[in-house]
């Protein structure tokens, strides 16, 4: 057994070289001034990390003060005390991020694993014991082993394994392999009698061994570089300490720059599926798929820089990988530490024995193939520990097969003999060849990475079909662009050669001061920091103008791009970065208790209804490749229970549409007129009923195309509880039913039989393909609704209980028929109006109803009811189906229709689900539009959504028109409530949807501008990635809706408000 901590000193190695002995005592004005300059640079960079919201969901913002204070104290300590202090700092960071229960649990399990490695038994037995414990932990993570419920209840953390094990896996999954490998070789060297001084690295102390596993930033970055144990010890203070510290600051600066460059790619280059049109769209899709890897590069630079601050002069994980000129060169530049790990643990142990038997070339072939097969398997292994499911996909296998094959070919070519060295100096031909190789490899990797990022070959090929939309001119532009890049590469090499010659001419025996890293690195850091600070000054945005200000806002804030809002496919690393933000994401924001929320579901994006990308996510998160980079934690701002002022927003006039916006004569009472549909999809005028349908409110019958009356069942796929709420891709489904649903099997009664209708391009239905997973309080349907709430269901969502009444509404109980002297309104909307994340009595609909009953016209003789037919994830066409199938049976007096910024996007998703699921569509106009778009169920998602993009906006308008016509035909009043989300940069989308609703003949209750004077973060549940209103947001919106309805009663519902302007009252939020 190796003696732990038995060396003469308490540093990493002993004895120390002479320069190491002087580290703790060297002093002087120059050294102190250099350290103070480094400290100032570090403080400035850490402030910038906060200002630019770098990886906010990872827990990084929480440990930044600890890092700064720890760096100062660590540098002031004697050398022998520094490593134990770094260990304590790392353990403190774990507890700070994970909390006082999960943190110590992780540390305890880690200590057990390290202790097993040093039991006084044979190495084989120790390795077997470690493997058995790891297998048990893996089975717990996978859910095969369930901890007793009393364990989680005793610490108020029912999901403790889901919080601890991904972080533990990130720390131990590779380091434990390396540690055992080195431990074995150290024991063999000691057994062979090799003196300690002759070994590659002398024995390590206890602090060195433990700190190796509990590295400080690992708790925040679960996708972590593979750190070699020998390199970790060998590079500890292997040069002047200020040089190492300055290098660390420089790498943190570079990491920040890489992450900001990633945000530019994320916001302005990554396309949504429908944007991949023509050859230009394909180039954009492929290039962005590769460049999102900049986020990994940026994070790894941050990690390496943070470690340098504590003396670990580790080599970089990436070295200008975009400049690789060949596959072997790429393998040596990207994930350098991974390459070193594979070569050390797998390549050489395979190469040497095979070479002795078969010779050099067969050994090279076998060892290389083996390395890339293991790389594929280890990526699946890594995915399991960080995500909880084992992803051994064919696309990953193809990706690594291609990369490995290319590297093997390059290696065989290089093995034939040394290549001729290029002549010194600059030459046009070598520069041209190298530039062409760099551009060619970049193009190849972009194509390959785009394939790796796609869920399947068919989906990837469906993107490529967009090339058929381009003519010869597009191909000529592409060729010219490639030639331009090659020319730029040649020019850059020429410029670099000229600068090198000039520097050589000026160089003397000692370098000029401006050439020394001690000068140019701090100067570069300060220059970069100054520019970034100026970008965060509000006046800078005004001076730059609107377009540049938008770019600055996109780079400076952690928010979702259009791609993440539309749930674009994402690559291996993007998903890992978003899904594995730190299992402490729930704990990463102020005011969040240690216990994770008891939501049955992962957070839902208000834009798409899909699980949030966390911020990163990848991160969903833009530091999300994507998540959200967000979805994590709360906003950090306390929300009081006091009412928010509901005063009118100046300058917002009532749109006041005449003609189609006015209510019909009201001669046809409820139940006597059928829902109507515009004949040609044109805006309606007057109260003309275009078509009529059979009594009972069912849509017009349509002759089926195919076997549209076949029904099918769909498994209700409830997601696994996620320990990280900021995920940018959907978690694996869990088919188990909700345990807290107060509903029996009998609740799943059949819906009323639907009339036969078209199933686009198919002969019957084959199973639902929903763009959104159903919640545990929802169930799929066999019609155009796609899903609905389960009557009388009980569950939890976004930390609040969800109780569905007997009619399938998240609302208080109501009778089906309105009570006497009751003005009944029906509200159609989505999760915003459902009140996701707040108690039902504090939702906008309940507050509005309470205020009407407190001060509405006609009270107390008249009562008001607002029935909330909103369902999470619904789009406007699902509201149409809800109106036709359900609302009219409750005999409302008026309809309130929510208008959201997401409708056009959600229409694409909804129509895609209809087509892929081959759902019978009872609306002739919709069927005709789908035929015009040329879609069918055999198409893959990217092509399908590209085609649907041409009809989505018109079908949003038609949906509003259908609601207006249906209400008018029944003599009901209907208004549209324009409800912007508390999210920046959505003005264009909400303006478009409001315009479509107004064009359909619906009067608008326009809340645009309602957030003026308020912080949007103070009105939303978490932050910009989850813009559902919190209680303050619901209060503000409810008060504003009431005021606008009162002020514009003559153009709206005509409730009988007087013209007197009474002081606005507010309903205090329920406690």
Q: What is the pLDDT of residues 726-763, one digit of tens each?
A: 333 333 323 333 333 332 223 233 333 333 333 443 33
Hey, what's the torsion of the CAs at 149, 153, 157, 162, to 10 degrees?
-10
Q: How many CB atoms lie within 10 A of CB 901?
A: 25
**Per-residue pLDDT band at 1015 (split at 50, 70, 90):** confident
For the stretch 33-42, pLDDT in tens is 889 999 999 9
Worst-scoring range by mean pLDDT, 14-18, 378-382, 841-845?
14-18
pLDDT digits (tens, 9 = 90+) for 313-349: 999 999 999 999 988 899 889 999 999 999 999 999 9
Distance CA 239, CA 249 (A): 16
Please give the pLDDT value at position 655: 31
Query: What does the pLDDT read at residue 690?
Result: 24
Q: How far apart are CA 368 and CA 235, in angstroms?
A: 28
- Closest by CA to 873, choosing from 609, 612, 565, is 609
* Contacts (Cβ under 8 Å, ≥6 apart) of 296: 223, 573, 577
Torsion of CA 197, 200, 202, 208, to 10 degrees: 160
Most confident of 69-78, 144-153, 644-653, 708-717: 69-78
CA dist 103 and 265 (Å) reads 35
Query: Is the separation of the CB atoms in 1027 and 1018 below 8 Å?
Result: no
Identify the pLDDT of residue 202: 64
- Domain 689-1051, CATH homologous superfamily name and number: SGNH hydrolase (3.40.50.1110)
User: What's the CA angle centered on 734, arms 732 and 736, to 5 degrees?
Assistant: 180
pLDDT of 4 over the 70 cut: no
pLDDT attached to residue 1051? 77
| CA nearest neighbour of 996 among 826, 988, 893, 832 | 988
Residue 435 carries which DSSP code?
H
pLDDT for position 557: 78
For the record, the structure tokens of 625 come out as 């490749």
Cα–Cα dist 403/344, whole Å = 19
In the three-class reduction of DSSP (H, G, I as helix; E, B as strand; rest coil), residue 828 is classed as strand
**Burial class (CB within 10 angstroms; exposed 0-12, middle 13-18, buried 19+) of 837:** buried
Confidence of residue 549 (pLDDT cuts 50, 70, 90): confident
| 468, burial (CB in 10 Å: exposed 0-12, middle 13-18, buried 19+) | exposed
Pairing of strands 800-803, 822-828: unpaired
Question: Which token pair is 513?
Answer: 């001061």
DSSP-based three-state secondary structure for 1064: coil
Contact 1005, 1044 (CB under 8 A): yes
Please name the residue ranges forming H helices in 57-159. 60-76, 79-98, 102-116, 123-142, 149-154
293-320 residue pLDDT tens: 999 999 999 999 999 999 999 999 999 9
Using CA atoms, how far residue 963 sits from 25, 32, 752, 881, 970, in Å, is 81, 74, 21, 10, 11
What are the structural domain ranges in the chain? 1-7+67-234, 689-1051
Q: In this structure, are residues 728 and 579 in contact, taking their beta carbons and an 8 Å threshold?
A: yes
pTM: 0.71
- If one counts every other C-beta atom within 10 angstroms of the C-beta of residue 755, the result is 17
Beta carbons within 8 Å of 408's beta carbon, 6+ residues apart: 364, 365, 368, 369
Burial of 547 (0-12, 13-18, 19+ CB in 10 A): exposed
- Kindly state the tokens that stand for 88: 């304590």
pLDDT per residue over 669-692, tens digit each? 333 333 333 333 333 333 322 222
Cβ neighbours around 624 below 10 Å, total: 42
Q: Please measure the distance between the N-terminal and C-terminal CA atoms of the chain and give it in whole angstroms.
A: 63
DSSP string, 585-611: GGGSSTT--SSPP--SS--B-TTTSSB
Upper half-sphere CA count for residue 198 (Cβ side, 13 Å) = 6
Q: Which residues of 663-685 are buried (b: 16+ CB within 10 A; e: fewer)?
A: bbeeebebeebbbbbbeebebbe
Rounded (5°) CA angle 637-642-644 = 85
- How far, in Å, CA of 583 to CA of 1007, rounded? 38
What tens digit of pLDDT does each residue of 847-902 get? 999 999 999 998 889 999 999 999 998 999 999 999 999 999 999 999 999 999 98
CB 321 within 8 A of CB 400: no
Partners of residue 480 on adjacent β-strands: none
Name the nearest CA neighbour of 256 among 216, 291, 226, 299: 299
**DSSP, res 809:** -
Task: Give the SS3 label for residue 789.
Answer: strand
- Write out the two tokens for 367: 């060892």
Beta bridge partners of 868: 827
What pLDDT shows up at residue 756? 35
Cβ atoms within 10 Å, residue 557:
19
Residue with tokens 């991904």: 166
Distance (Å, whole) CA 104 – CA 110: 10
């Amino acid at each position: 057994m190796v003696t732990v901590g038995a060396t003469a000193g308490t540093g990493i190695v002993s004895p120390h070289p002479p320069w190491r002995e002087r580290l703790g005592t060297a002093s002087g004005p120059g050294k102190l001034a250099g350290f103070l300059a480094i400290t100032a640079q570090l403080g400035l960079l850490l402030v910038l990390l906060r200002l630019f919201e770098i990886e906010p969901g990872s827990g990084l913002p929480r440990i930044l003060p600890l890092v700064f204070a720890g760096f100062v104290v660590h540098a002031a300590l004697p050398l022998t005390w520094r490593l134990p202090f770094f260990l304590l700092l790392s353990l403190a960071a774990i507890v700070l991020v994970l909390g006082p229960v999960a943190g110590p649990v992780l540390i305890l399990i880690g200590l057990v694993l390290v202790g097993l490695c040093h039991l006084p038994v044979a190495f084989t037995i120790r390795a077997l014991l470690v493997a058995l414990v790891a297998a048990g932990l893996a089975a717990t993570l996978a859910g095969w082993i369930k901890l007793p419920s009393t364990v989680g209840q005793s610490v108020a953390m029912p999901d403790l394994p889901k919080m601890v094990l991904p972080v533990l896996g990130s720390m131990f999954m590779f380091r434990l392999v390396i540690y055992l490998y080195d431990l074995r070789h150290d024991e063999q060297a000691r057994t062979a009698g090799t003196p300690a001084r002759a070994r590659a690295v002398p024995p390590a102390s206890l602090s060195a061994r433990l700190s190796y596993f509990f590295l400080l930033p690992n708790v925040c970055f679960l996708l972590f570089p593979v750190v070699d144990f020998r390199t970790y010890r060998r590079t500890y203070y292997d040069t002047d300490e200020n040089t190492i510290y300055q290098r660390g600051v420089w790498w943190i600066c570079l990491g920040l720059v890489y992450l900001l460059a990633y945000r530019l790619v994320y916001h302005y280059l990554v396309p949504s599926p429908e944007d991949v049109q023509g050859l230009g769209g394909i180039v954009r899709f492929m290039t962005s798929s590769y460049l999102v890897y900049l986020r990994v590069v940026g994070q790894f630079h941050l990690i390496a820089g943070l470690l340098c601050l504590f003396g670990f002069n580790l080599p970089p994980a990436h070295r200008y990988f975009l400049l690789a000129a060949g596959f072997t060169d790429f393998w040596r530049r990207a994930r350098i530490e991974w390459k070193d790990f594979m070569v050390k643990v797998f390549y050489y142990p395979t190469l040497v024995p095979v070479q002795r038997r078969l010779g050099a070339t067969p050994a090279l072939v076998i060892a290389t193939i083996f390395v890339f097969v293991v790389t594929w398997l280890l990526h699946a292994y890594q995915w399991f520990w960080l995500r909880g499911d084992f992803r051994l996909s064919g696309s990953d296998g193809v990706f690594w097969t291609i990369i490995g094959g290319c590297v093997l070919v390059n290696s065989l070519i290089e093995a034939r003999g040394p290549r001729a060295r290029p002549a010194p100096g600059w030459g046009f031909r070598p520069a041209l060849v190298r530039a062409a190789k760099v551009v060619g490899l970049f193009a190849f990797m972009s194509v390959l990475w785009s394939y790796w990022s796609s869920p399947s070959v068919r989906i990837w090929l469906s993107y490529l079909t967009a090339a058929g939309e381009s003519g010869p001119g597009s191909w000529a532009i592409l060729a010219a662009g490639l030639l331009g890049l090659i020319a730029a590469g040649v020019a850059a090499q020429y410029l670099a050669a000229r600068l090198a010659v000039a520097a050589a001419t000026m160089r003397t025996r000692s370098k000029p001061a401006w050439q020394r890293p001690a000068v140019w690195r701090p100067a570069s850091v300060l220059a970069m920091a100054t520019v970034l600070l100026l970008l965060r000054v509000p006046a800078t945005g005004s001076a730059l103008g609107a377009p540049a200000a938008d770019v600055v806002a996109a780079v400076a804030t952690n928010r979702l791009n259009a791609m993440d809002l539309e749930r674009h496919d994402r690559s291996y690393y993007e998903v890992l970065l978003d899904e594995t933000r730190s299992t402490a994401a729930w704990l990463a924001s102020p005011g969040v208790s240690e216990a994770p929320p008891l939501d049955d579901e992962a957070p839902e994006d208000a834009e798409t209804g899909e699980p949030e990308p966390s911020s990163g996510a990848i991160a969903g998160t833009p530091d999300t490749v994507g998540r959200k980079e967000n979805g994590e934690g709360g906003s950090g701002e306390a929300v009081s229970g006091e009412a928010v002022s509901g005063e009118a927003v100046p300058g917002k006039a009532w749109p006041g549409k005449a003609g189609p916006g006015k209510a019909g004569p009201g001669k046809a009472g409820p139940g006597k007129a059928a829902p109507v549909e515009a004949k040609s999809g044109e805006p309606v005028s007057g109260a003309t009923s275009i078509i009529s349908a059979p009594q009972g409110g069912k849509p017009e019958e349509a002759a089926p195309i195919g076997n549209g009356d076949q029904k099918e069942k769909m498994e209700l796929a409830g997601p696994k509880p996620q320990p990280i709420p900021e995920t940018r891709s959907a978690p694996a489904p869990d088919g188990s039913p909700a345990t807290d649903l107060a509903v029996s099997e009998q609740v799943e009664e059949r819906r009323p039989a639907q009339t036969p209708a078209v199933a686009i391009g198919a002969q019957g239905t084959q199973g639902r393909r929903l763009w959104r997973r159903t919640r545990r309080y929802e169930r799929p349907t066999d019609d155009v609704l796609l899903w609905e709430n389960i009557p009388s269901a009980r569950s939890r969502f976004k930390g609040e209980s969800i109780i569905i009444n007997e009619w399938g509404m998240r609302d208080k109980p109501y009778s089906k028929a309105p009570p006497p002297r009751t003005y009944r309104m029906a509200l159609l909307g989505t999760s915003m109006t459902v009140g996701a994340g707040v108690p039902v009595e504090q939702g906008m609909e309940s507050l509005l109803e309470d205020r009407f009953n407190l001060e509405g016209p006609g009270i107390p003789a008249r009562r008001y009811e607002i029935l909330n037919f909103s369902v999470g994830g619904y789009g406007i066409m699902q509201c149409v189906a809800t109106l036709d199938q359900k609302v009219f049976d409750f005999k409302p007096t008026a309809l309130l229709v929510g208008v959201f910024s997401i409708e056009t996007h959600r229409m694409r998703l909804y129509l895609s689900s209809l087509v892929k699921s081959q759902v019978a569509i009872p609306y002739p106009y919709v069927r005709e539009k789908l035929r015009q778009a040329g879609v069918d169920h055999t198409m893959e998602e990217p092509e399908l959504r590209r085609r649907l993009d041409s009809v989505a906006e018109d079908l949003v308008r038609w949906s509003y028109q259908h609601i207006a016509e249906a209400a008018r035909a029944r003599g009901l009043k209907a208004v549209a409530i324009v409800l912007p989300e508390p999210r920046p940069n959505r003005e264009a989308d909400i303006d478009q949807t409001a315009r479509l609703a107004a064009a359909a003949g619906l009067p608008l209750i326009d809340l645009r501008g309602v957030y003026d004077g308020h912080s949007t973060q103070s009105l939303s549940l978490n932050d910009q990635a989850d813009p559902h209103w919190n209680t303050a947001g619901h209060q503000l919106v409810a008060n504003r809706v009431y005021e606008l309805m009162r002020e514009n009663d003559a153009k709206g519902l005509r409730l009988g408000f007087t013209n007197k302007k009474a002081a606005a009252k507010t309903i205090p939020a329920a406690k």
